[in-house]
Amino acid sequence: MSVPDAYERSRACPVLHVDMDAFYASVALRDRPDLQDTPVFVGGGHRGVVLSANYLARAHGVRSAMPGSRALRLCPDAVVLKPDHAVFATVSAAVMETFRQVTPLVEGVSMDEAFLDVSGAVRLLGTPLAIAEQLRARIADEQRITCSVGVAATVSVAKLASTRAKPDGVRVVLPDEVAAFLHHRDVGDLHGVGEKTRDRLRRRGYLTVGDLARTEVEVLRRDLGEHLGPHLHTLAWGADRRQVRSRHAPVFAGVTQDPDKSMGAQSTFGRDTADRAVVLRELLRLTTSVTGRMRTAGVAGRTVALTVRFSDFTTLTRSRTLGEATDATQEVFAAVVALHDALGLRGERLRLVGVRVEGLRPRAGIHHQHVLGEREVGWAEADRAVDQAARRFGSAAVRPASLLGGGANSPVSLPPVERPA
């Protein structure tokens, strides 16, 4: 097929699945040219789990959600980078905004992937294949990371096509190519088929997608259930939904602008500690990350929760509801410090701490009630100035003084929690 024919034929495939390549690792490596040829993973270490690994680390078997200790055994020469969730959220928001500048029909799946329906954009921007290449070029230029794009007529085929395009590629699957593209693949490759369902299918003798496609629906219904059987038969022929379900609220690590949702972060210390200054320093870092993500998402919350895990793995969670919803770092941190001190710890060593803000709602609908004598400009305005500087110069450009230098177990002087003068 000639190149012009490939572009024209892609008009039958208006659904795009765009997936960032090794998102967390790619973002973390943007300003580390010294590590471009080095196996790297984000998160993990000896006591955590891997969030993302670059492709050099993946070649050694390192995968997301793998315990860090196992990842280091598989790849002892890997460099382990700490996650910066505020930066990840900022990049994710920018990528999603790029998608919405192409089409309003964007279905965010997670921080680093989304489905797009570009049928309404082809008149101005060209064929779906041309749009896919434009998106890849723009994201590479603006965010300095790569993505892979699947182009198809249905959601499930586009999802699988993007997987086959990785890394940094485009894969178009035309309607008349679906059977050839799908039927030789393992049943576990189908969109939405997890490990348990895959094992169940294999036990029933369904090893490939073609096995499902060639089996009558009534047989699958008897074997697999009233809903699952017909659903998998539809997926096996690539005949699932063509509609992209637009979501206008941003998605960050599974959190949308939903009153019942929350945002949080937690961290495991390199070694258990009973040092209050060390613990509060880490809580400030987590609070800064969480509230930064909240401001990027345009949400605020009233309930602040603290989680601590002791050296014997006993875990406690305590929460406090504020007088009004906030996204201000210092206001949330003041509540976290109060919750920590209310535990009355007397030398108990902590293994893990976490911060969470619950009951999130759109920030635009919340109005701060000023107290008589209170300055009009406070922590919220200071936070937004910091966010603006971070977007322009990077997250390391401005941060609380107590977070400069030192390791995870370094004692520091903690900042005040009252409003700034």
Tens of pLDDT along 32-80? 989 999 999 998 766 788 999 999 999 999 998 899 889 999 999 999 9
Residues 152 and 206 placed together within one structural domain of the fold: no
**249 assigned to some structural domain:** no
Token pair for 132: 């896919």
Residues 194 and 140 placed together within one structural domain of the fold: no
pLDDT at position 377:
47
Q: Which CATH number goes with the domain that contains 318? A: 3.30.1490.100
**245 assigned to some structural domain:** no
Under the banding of pLDDT at 50, 70 and 90, the label for residue 414 is very low
Residues 119 and 210 placed together within one structural domain of the fold: no
How many other C-beta atoms lie within 10 A of the C-beta of residue 356?
21
pLDDT at position 39:
96
Residues 14 and 125 placed together within one structural domain of the fold: yes
Q: Which CATH number goes with the domain that contains 33? A: 3.30.70.270
In the chain, the percentage of residues whose pLDDT exceeds 90 is: 55
Under the banding of pLDDT at 50, 70 and 90, the label for residue 264 is confident
Determine if the pTM surpasses 0.75: no
Interval 231-259 mean pLDDT: 68
Distances (CA, A) of 415 to 281, 283, 354: 9, 12, 19
Q: Is the pLDDT of residue 138 over 80?
A: yes
16 closest CA partner among 111, 86, 109 = 109
Q: Could you list the active site residues?
A: 113
Q: Is the pLDDT of residue 410 over 90?
A: no
**91 assigned to some structural domain:** yes
Residues 198 and 164 placed together within one structural domain of the fold: no
Residues 18 and 54 placed together within one structural domain of the fold: yes
pLDDT at position 348:
94
Interval 86-96 mean pLDDT: 86
Helix, strand, coil: what percent of the chain each, to 5? 40, 20, 35
Under the banding of pLDDT at 50, 70 and 90, the label for residue 89 is confident
Residues 80 and 148 placed together within one structural domain of the fold: yes
The domain boundary residue, chosen from 127, 152, 172: 172
**413 assigned to some structural domain:** no
Under the banding of pLDDT at 50, 70 and 90, the label for residue 139 is very high
Under the banding of pLDDT at 50, 70 and 90, the label for residue 241 is confident
Residues 293 and 389 placed together within one structural domain of the fold: yes
Q: Which CATH number goes with the domain that contains 212? A: 1.10.150.20
pLDDT at position 279:
96
pLDDT at position 420:
35
Q: Is the pLDDT of residue 368 over 70?
A: no
**76 assigned to some structural domain:** yes
Classify residue 5 by burial, with Cβ atoms within 10 Å: 0-12, 13-18, 19+: exposed
pLDDT digits (tens, 9 = 90+) for 145-192: 999 999 999 999 999 999 999 999 999 999 999 999 999 999 999 988
Virtual torsion, Cα 230, 233, 237, 238, nearest 10 deg: 60
Q: Which residues contact 220 (CB under 8 A, 6 or more apart)?
A: 212, 228, 229, 230, 232, 233
**247 assigned to some structural domain:** no
The domain in which residue 146 lies consists of: 1-172
**85 assigned to some structural domain:** yes
* Cβ pair 329, 291 in contact under 8 A: yes
Residues 45 and 193 placed together within one structural domain of the fold: no
343 against 377, higher pLDDT? 343
How many other C-beta atoms lie within 10 A of the C-beta of residue 65?
10
Name the domain count of the chain: 3
Crossing angle of helices 85-102 and 379-393, in 10° steps, is 70
Residues 11 and 152 placed together within one structural domain of the fold: yes
pLDDT digits (tens, 9 = 90+) for 102-131: 998 999 888 899 999 999 999 889 999 999
147 forms bridges with which residues in the sheet?
Answer: 20
The domain boundary residue, chosen from 172, 198, 225: 172
Interval 257-283 mean pLDDT: 81
* Mean pLDDT rounded to a whole number for the chain: 84
47 against 339, higher pLDDT? 339
Residues 152 and 187 placed together within one structural domain of the fold: no
Q: Which residues are annotated as a binding site?
A: 19, 112
Residues 9 and 97 placed together within one structural domain of the fold: yes
User: Could you tell me where the DSSP H helices lie in 145-266?
Assistant: 155-165, 178-182, 195-203, 209-213, 217-224, 228-236
Q: Which residues are annotated as a binding site for Mg(2+)?
A: 19, 112
pLDDT at position 260:
40
